[in-house]
């Protein structure tokens, strides 16, 4: 057999075991390896299900490769060292030889071609250049087709002209595009301005489309909602007693229970009523709407009936207040509302002992402050530089009015609790 023809290792029984090498196989008998890591690896792999013989076989294969690689690396290092040593010596020898040869060649070149020699190449070239310099300059500067620079100049000039023409055309095209963009931008600005004007016109139309009566009702409805009262626009509704007198009817406390009283608001902005005509409107409206108090709301102080004052109580159940035509929702209307509400509640609770003097004084002070506030507001319309200080004063007056109104409410509430 082939295995018997190959030399075999002698049996090694030096007390540690027997190892045989048969072709590409190893036969190990009674071999004991004293290595803690090897024993641990075989044990752990055996616990995980791998046969110990398989683990030992892999360990021998891997170890053999490592040993073989180490021997090869050692041989390579030895060869590298020998080569570097040999080439180092050769490099030194060649360097010295090359340096000596270079010096010898330089001496020969200097001897044969030295600049001092009249028959050297450099001297001959210098003579040729000196002799032909004038003719060369003439040839290079004359305007003749034989001059190579002339053709070059012609070509360069042609290219410059072509580039200039392209630049001109591009500039013209760019200017045309810019002009088109400017026109388009102008049209866009015109459309934008037109849209803004349309929006402003629509907004103005909406404001103008709503009547003074409707704007006053909206303001009264807002005040009523904050107090738990109910405000109804009755200007177009038939009254229980007939007719359509009265524009807004307020029922005090109606949002929380039965109404504790009714206030009628009549809005007028078309003409200045006389005192008698104004009282006739209010009396008829109170009768038709079963209200106990009426407030005439006019657009602007110029429409207050002659001889009458704002926020003054007339005939025990009527009052007049002037508001801004376009924005009636202001302090003056709220003051009139709350004074009218306080008067209705006082009249309903006849047994209440109310400090009438304090109520009257608070109302008079409120009226005075409202007058000052309205004067300041008118001044603010045309003054901007001092508007901040004026607005501070206005806000302080508004707070003072509200404080007086709270005083009136507290006086009435205190009287009701005492009763």
Q: Is residue 262 part of a domain?
A: yes
Maximum distance among all alpha carbons in the chain?
A: 151
Q: Which of 285, 243, 291 is nearest to 266 (CA)?
A: 285
Q: Is residue 170 part of a domain?
A: no
Q: Which domain does 39 fall in, by range?
A: 33-82
- Which of the residues in the chain have pLDDT under 70? 1-16, 71-153, 194-195, 197-209, 235-244, 349-357, 359-360, 363-364, 367, 370-371, 374-375, 377-378, 380-387, 416, 418-419
**What pLDDT is recorded for position 118?**
58
Q: Bridge partners of 295?
A: 265, 319
Q: Which ranges in 349-386 belong to alpha helices (H)?
A: 356-382
Q: Is residue 133 part of a domain?
A: no
Q: Is residue 281 part of a domain?
A: yes
CB atoms inside a 10 Å sphere around CB 398: 16
CB atoms inside a 10 Å sphere around CB 405: 21
CA distance 30 to 14: 11
CA distance 338 to 252: 11
3-state SS of 279-293? HHHHHHHHHHHCCCE
Tokens representing residue 419 in the block:
């009763």
Cβ within 8 Å of residue 21, ≥6 positions away: 8, 9, 27
Domain-ending residue, one of 54, 82, 110: 82
Q: Is residue 46 part of a domain?
A: yes
**What pLDDT is recorded for position 220?**
94
Cβ contact 398:331 at 8 Å: yes
Residues 222 and 360 grouped into a single domain: yes
CA distance 304 to 225: 27
Per-residue model confidence as pLDDT tens digits over 80-120: 666 566 556 545 655 565 566 556 655 655 565 555 555 55
Cβ contact 26:60 at 8 Å: yes
Residues 250 and 396 grouped into a single domain: yes
Q: Is residue 311 part of a domain?
A: yes
CA distance 165 to 169: 6
**φ, ψ (nearest 5 deg) of residue 68:** -60, -40
> Whole-model pTM?
0.43
Per-residue model confidence as pLDDT tens digits over 23-68: 888 888 878 888 888 889 889 989 989 898 888 888 888 888 878 7
Q: Is residue 407 part of a domain?
A: yes
Cβ contact 241:264 at 8 Å: no
Q: Which helix (H) or strand (E) holds 156?
A: helix 148-209
Tokens representing residue 327 in the block:
């924005």
Please tell me the total count of domains within the chain: 2
CA distance 31 to 8: 19
Cβ contact 259:253 at 8 Å: yes
Residues 232 and 378 grouped into a single domain: yes
Q: Is residue 377 part of a domain?
A: yes
């Amino acid at each position: 057999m082939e295995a018997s023809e190959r030399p075999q290792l002698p049996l090694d029984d030096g007390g540690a075991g027997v190892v045989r090498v048969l072709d590409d196989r190893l036969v190990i008998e009674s071999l004991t390896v004293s290595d803690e890591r090897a024993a641990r690896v075989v044990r752990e792999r055996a616990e995980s299900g791998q046969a110990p013989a398989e683990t030992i076989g892999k360990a021998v294969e891997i170890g053999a490769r490592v040993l073989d690689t180490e021997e090869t690396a050692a041989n390579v290092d030895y060869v590298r060292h020998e080569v570097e040593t040999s080439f180092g010596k050769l490099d030194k020898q060649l360097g010295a030889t090359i340096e000596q040869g270079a010096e010898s060649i330089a001496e020969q070149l200097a001897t044969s071609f030295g600049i001092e020699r009249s028959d050297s190449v450099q001297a001959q070239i210098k003579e040729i250049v000196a002799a032909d310099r004038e003719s060369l300059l003439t040839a290079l500067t004359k305007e003749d087709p034989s001059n190579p620079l002339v053709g070059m100049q012609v070509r360069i000039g042609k290219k410059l002209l072509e580039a200039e023409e392209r630049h001109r055309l591009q500039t013209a095209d760019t200017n045309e595009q810019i002009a088109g963009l400017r026109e388009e931008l102008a049209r866009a600005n015109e459309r934008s301005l037109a849209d803004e004007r349309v929006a402003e016109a629509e907004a103005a139309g909406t404001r103008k489309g709503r009547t003074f009566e409707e704007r006053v009702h909206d303001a009264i409805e807002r005040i009523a909602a904050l107090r738990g009262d109910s405000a109804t626009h009755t200007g177009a509704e038939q009254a229980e007693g007939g007719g359509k007198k009265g524009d807004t009817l307020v029922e005090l406390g109606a949002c929380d229970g039965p109404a504790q009283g009714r206030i009628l608001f009549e809005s007028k902005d078309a003409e200045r009523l006389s005192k008698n005509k104004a009282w006739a409107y209010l009396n008829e409206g109170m009768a038709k709407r079963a209200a106990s108090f009426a407030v005439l709301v006019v657009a602007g102080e110029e429409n207050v009936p002659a001889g009458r004052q704002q926020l003054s109580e007339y005939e025990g159940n009527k009052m007049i207040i002037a508001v801004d035509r376009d924005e009636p929702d202001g302090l003056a209307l709220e003051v009139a509302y709350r004074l009218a509400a306080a008067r209705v509640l006082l009249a309903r609770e006849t047994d209440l002992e109310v400090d009438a003097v304090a109520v009257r004084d608070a109302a008079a002070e409120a009226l005075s402050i409202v007058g000052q506030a309205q004067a300041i507001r008118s001044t603010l319309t045309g003054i901007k530089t001092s508007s901040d200080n004026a607005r501070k004063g206005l806000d302080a007056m508004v707070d003072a009015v509200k404080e007086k109104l709270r005083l009136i409410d507290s006086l009435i509430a205190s009287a009701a609790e005492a009763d």
